[in-house]
Amino acid sequence: MKKLLFIFIVIGLTACGGAKKEEDKTTTDSTTTKEETVKVPDVVKDAFAKAYPKAMDAKWEAEEGNFEVEFEVDKVETFVVYNATGSVLETETSMEPSKLPEVVKKYFADNMKGKEIKEAAKITDAYNVVTYEAEVDGEDYIFDADGVFKYKDQEKDNDEKED
């Protein structure tokens, strides 16, 4: 009887210890977005920390099964999308509109006289394909690396209404 009790105690302690280890593996970066807590896997956080050791004010958001982090380095706003294994899917780095390629600026001068580029960004995907984004009147205009216009897209989040 004492042996049986001892076995149950050992099994119980082992089970509790295993559960504790599982709990320790899951870490949470609690960025509250629309009242939800984003649980970022350690492998993703580690990849981010290694790539951007000087990042300031990182804010995580779940994005279609992936993880997007918004942060600043040297006063430059950057967004990076990671998959669950810590691989970078896309990097978007804000830039001054005046730093856009000349051919992009010419597109707006020729096709949208009097319109101001409010924001601009350089986007690099997982295959190192570069595109440029220029926001005018709440729409994002996307250009390839050579400055050729590809398409325009409505802003998902209208920042003007929030300000």
Phi and psi (nearest 5°) for 115?
-90, 140
Condensed to tens digits (0 to 9), the pLDDT of residues 15-39 reads: 444 443 333 333 344 444 444 578 9
CATH of 27-153, one of 3.40.50.720, 3.10.450.360, 2.60.40.10, 3.50.50.60: 3.10.450.360
The type of residue at 63 is: E
Residue with tokens 């294994």: 85
Q: What is the mean pLDDT of the chain?
A: 79
All structural domains of the chain with their residue ranges: 27-153
Condensed to tens digits (0 to 9), the pLDDT of residues 80-120 reads: 999 999 999 999 999 999 999 999 999 999 998 888 999 99
Dihedral Cα 48, 52, 54, 56, nearest 10 deg: -50
d(CA 103, CA 121): 15
Q: Please report the pLDDT score of residue 135 as a whole number.
A: 95
